[in-house]
A and B are shown apart, each in its own frame.
Chain A
Amino acid sequence: RKEVEQDPGPFNVPEGATVAFNCTYSNSASQSFFWYRQDCRKEPKLLMSVYSSGNEDGRFTAQLNRASQYISLLIRDSKLSDSATYLCVVNGGEGNQAGTALIFGKGTTLSVSS
């Protein structure tokens, strides 16, 4: 089965720090990429999609390197409320074959302390 690999962490950082998460995926045919956030005992929620040119949403920046099959998430000026598990998610698409859903990584845990 196609895989998505993440460093599980935990990443323990002080408020205000910049932290980066990396993710690698094995399926070169993947077409869609996302970062999700999951709080303890809650459902995953979409944080941001990842576009080929890279994209930014406030303090969050996502980048994609198709050649290396690598995705990153950068969080600047960390807040206590950023503490969560961050899931790297990749479309498992195989060309035009329908029926292949998203593949979730195991997640990277972030703990921001004051």
Chain B
Amino acid sequence: ETGVTQTPRHLVMGMTNKKSLKCEQHLGHNAMYWYKQSAKKPLELMFVYNFKEQTENNSVPSRFSPECPNSSHLFLHLHTLQPEDSALYLCASSHLVGSSYNEQFFGPGTRLTVL
């Protein structure tokens, strides 16, 4: 596999369920990201990881819990979500060179529906 992969591609869950989204990058990058994109809204950055360390958390509710076990894998654990959390969740990766982030490469996203 090449590039950035995400699983599952589609997910329907109830508000009391617990699920996890998975992202894997095969590009040798050292930074990974989670974004949320709701219908007709811009990308919202959720979390940033550099070398497995979380460096940004953009006021994301605790019902979203990221995990980065190594620089190639990123998870987003979901529990007790709300219907307004339904969106496209995109993972991306990039190189961090010095203090500059290079261009990001996105996975195909997980389309999440919360009932």
Q: Give CA–CA (A101, B56) in the complex, Å.
A: 8
Please tell me if the beta carbons of A43 and B42 are within 8 angstroms of each other in the complex. Answer: no
Nearest CB on B from A23, distance (A): 13
Nearest CB on A from B17, distance (A): 24
Q: Across the A-B interface, how many residue pairs have beta carbons closer than 8 Å?
A: 62
Q: Is the interface of A mostly helix, strand, loop or mixed?
A: loop
CB-CB < 8 A to A107: which residues of B?
Answer: 42
Q: Give CA–CA (A46, B103) in the complex, Å.
A: 7
Please tell me if the beta carbons of A105 and B101 are within 8 angstroms of each other in the complex. Answer: no
Q: Is A114 an interface residue (CB 8 A)?
A: no
Please tell me if the beta carbons of B33 and A101 are within 8 angstroms of each other in the complex. Answer: yes
Complex: chain A residue closest to B90, CB-CB: A43
Q: Give CA–CA (A91, B85) in the complex, Å.
A: 27
CB-CB < 8 A to B102: which residues of A?
Answer: 32
CB-CB < 8 A to B106: which residues of A?
Answer: 43-45
Q: Give CA–CA (A100, B94) in the complex, Å.
A: 13
Nearest CB on B from A4, distance (A): 9
Interface residues of A in 21-64 (CB under 8 A from B): 31-32, 34, 41-46, 49
Complex: chain B residue closest to A30, CB-CB: B100
Complex: chain A residue closest to B97, CB-CB: A32
A residues neighboring B (CB under 8 Å): 31-32, 34, 41-46, 49, 87, 91, 93, 95-107
B residues neighboring A (CB under 8 Å): 31, 33, 41-43, 45, 48, 50, 55-56, 88, 90, 94, 96, 98-109, 111
14 contacts between A and B (CB under 8 A): A41-B88, A42-B109, A43-B90, A44-B106, A46-B104, A49-B103, A87-B42, A93-B99, A98-B99, A99-B48, A101-B48, A102-B104, A103-B45, A104-B42
